[in-house]
A and B are shown apart, each in its own frame.
Chain A
Amino acid sequence: MEVYSVSRITTYLRELLETDPHLADIWVSGEVSNLTRSTAGHLYFTLKDSESQLRCVFFRGATLQRDLASMVESGAQVVAHGRISLYEVRGDLQFYVDFVQPEGVGELAMEFERLKARLEQEGLFEQSRKRPLPPFPERIGVVTSPTGAVFHDICAILARRWPLAEIVLAPSAVQGIEAVRGIVAGIAALNEEPDMDVIIVARGGGSMEELWAFNEEAVARAIYASHAPFVSAVGHETDYTIADYVADVRAPTPSTAAELVAPDRRTVATTIVARRAALSTAARLCLDEGVGCLRGALGRMEHCAPPIDRDRQRVDDVLRLAGTMIDAAFARSREHVGGFRLQLRSLHPQATLARGYALVEKDGVAVRRVRDVKSGDALDVRVSDGGFAARVEPKSSARRRGSRPSQETQPPLFTSDGA
């Protein structure tokens, strides 16, 4: 027979209890009694029903439940969530409570509240991490059923409002046992896509059970992990899911989600028209300003401009003077030319002949001296109006020089032989 120490037994029992998965995550309903509050802020109470009691402890910090104090009142009927273990110091079996709901709330609602409180405590709903949606999405991911009206509605709205986007569908069941895995995989797959601007997870209206996938922790964590900004659009306006709290934006309905993620192209077109008008107005202002500057500059230039008119007159004067001078120069030139002409005329042999001289040639050469000829030479004589032939007479060579003989005594120099 083996004898155990108390410590060994209590430790063994604690380990036994803590290895049972049912006892690690359990809901228990009962009436609150013997409620005490420690100075550290922990709550100790007993849950009981008509037959049994269970010692409970609620450590401060085990949950973020704000309304806990009002809920855990002596006599209150509650449903508590937690784990069963053994407090070895006293050997007491204890229920370590982390969440309390008033009795009468449905099972799913309790689970919802518990998960919500836990994730909120963990920071998954932090407002500070909510991301803004891109103004002009190019690629919109949608996780939803490929067959339902929801996807069709989203496409119809986006086609009308913002056809610039590409819609990428990650098909998934949105209720039933496959829904959670499908939604989580869909969110992950869309995040693998390049340049996903925004992701919508959508489902039409339904009961809390039908919407339950969107209250699962795995879905909440997948949304939390999404790189792309996230929009949840589950059920009707009144339905809130955990997904709604984690998402960057909650859309009351799937159709609203389609309107939230993209602008209306007509509104954008109006904005563009307004921008064009603004551009024109601003450019016109700049132009007017420029023209104003130019006017001012011109005005100033006129004030400081040199007296052009005076100079112009001076130029006129100079030109006139130049003209006169040129005319005078021409006149002088003409006179010169006239003089030359007279001179030239007097030099012409014809003029000499006209004055009564004759030109005597022998064999085509002008006879200049007496010795140029001898008796009997044939000569050509040219006078002003023509010419005739002549012959040299054998006569006094003494008369070659000396005073001019009288007309009576002097024999004719030439005798005509009938020309």
Chain B
Amino acid sequence: MATKKNKETFEELFRRLEETVTKLEEGGLPLERSLALYEEGMTLARRCQEMLDAAEVRIRQLRETLAAPAEPEEVEEEIPWDDAES
């Protein structure tokens, strides 16, 4: 199972974007460093935006857990979803 530890999450990217903005706004950095931060921030912003644009909600259902409180094994069941945009 893919865990979010393996990939960059939106939260992580967004947090880094905020940090970059703060650092750059605080100023007092050498010009070269400022420009590097600017580039980095712009890249982060673009990647965040791409993630937002590309995202499609995924829906998964665990196996019926109703009467099986002990070991609810799961099935990777894709639920058809045609109502994503409204």
A337 within 8 A of B: no
Of A164, A178, A192, A279, the contact of B72 (CB 8 Å cutoff):
A192
Within 8 A of A (CB), among B1-38: 1, 3-5, 9-11, 14, 17-18, 20-21, 24-25, 27, 29, 31, 34-35, 37-38
Q: Apart from A134-B11, A178-B67, A286-B38, what are 4 other A-B pairs with CB-CB below 8 Å?
A: A158-B57, A162-B57, A268-B52, A282-B34
Of B5, B34, B66, B83, the contact of A283 (CB 8 Å cutoff):
B34
Of A125-133, A269-277, A304-312, the one with at least 4 CB within 8 A of chain B: A269-277
Please provide the 8 A-B residue pairs with the shortest distance between their CB atoms, ordered closest to farther. Answer: A189-B72, A286-B34, A283-B38, A185-B69, A163-B55, A282-B24, A290-B31, A159-B57
Find chain A residues with CB under 8 A from B31 CB.
286-287, 289-290
Of A27-35, A115-123, A169-177, the one with at least 4 CB within 8 A of chain B: A169-177
Bound-state Cα–Cα, A173 to B65, Å:
10
**Are B57 and A279 closer than 8 Å at their CB atoms?**
no
Bound-state Cα–Cα, A342 to B72, Å:
123
A257 within 8 A of B: no
- For B, the interface residue count at a CB cutoff of 8 angstroms equals 50
B52: nearest chain-A partner, CB-CB: A265
Bound-state Cα–Cα, A139 to B59, Å:
10
Find chain B residues with CB under 8 A from A265 CB.
52, 55
Chain A interface main SS type: helix
Say whether, besides A159-B81, A159-B84, A283-B35, A146 and B61 are in contact (CB < 8 Å): yes
**Are B66 and A275 closer than 8 Å at their CB atoms?**
no
Closest CB-CB distance, B9 to chain A, in whole Å? Answer: 6
Of A169, A189, A269, A282, the contact of B59 (CB 8 Å cutoff):
A169
Find chain B residues with CB under 8 A from A278 CB.
21, 24-25
Bound-state Cα–Cα, A200 to B65, Å:
16
Bound-state Cα–Cα, A289 to B66, Å:
66
A181: nearest chain-B partner, CB-CB: B69
B9: nearest chain-A partner, CB-CB: A138
**Are B86 and A190 closer than 8 Å at their CB atoms?**
no
B48: nearest chain-A partner, CB-CB: A272
**Are B62 and A275 closer than 8 Å at their CB atoms?**
no
Find chain A residues with CB under 8 A from B55 CB.
162-164, 265
Find chain B residues with CB under 8 A from A193 CB.
62, 74
Say whether, besides A138-B4, A138-B10, A190 and B62 are in contact (CB < 8 Å): yes
Bound-state Cα–Cα, A155 to B25, Å:
39
A44 within 8 A of B: no
Closest CB-CB distance, B31 to chain A, in whole Å? Answer: 4
Of A136, A167, A184, A188, the contact of B11 (CB 8 Å cutoff):
A136
Of A156, A185, A282, the contact of B27 (CB 8 Å cutoff):
A282
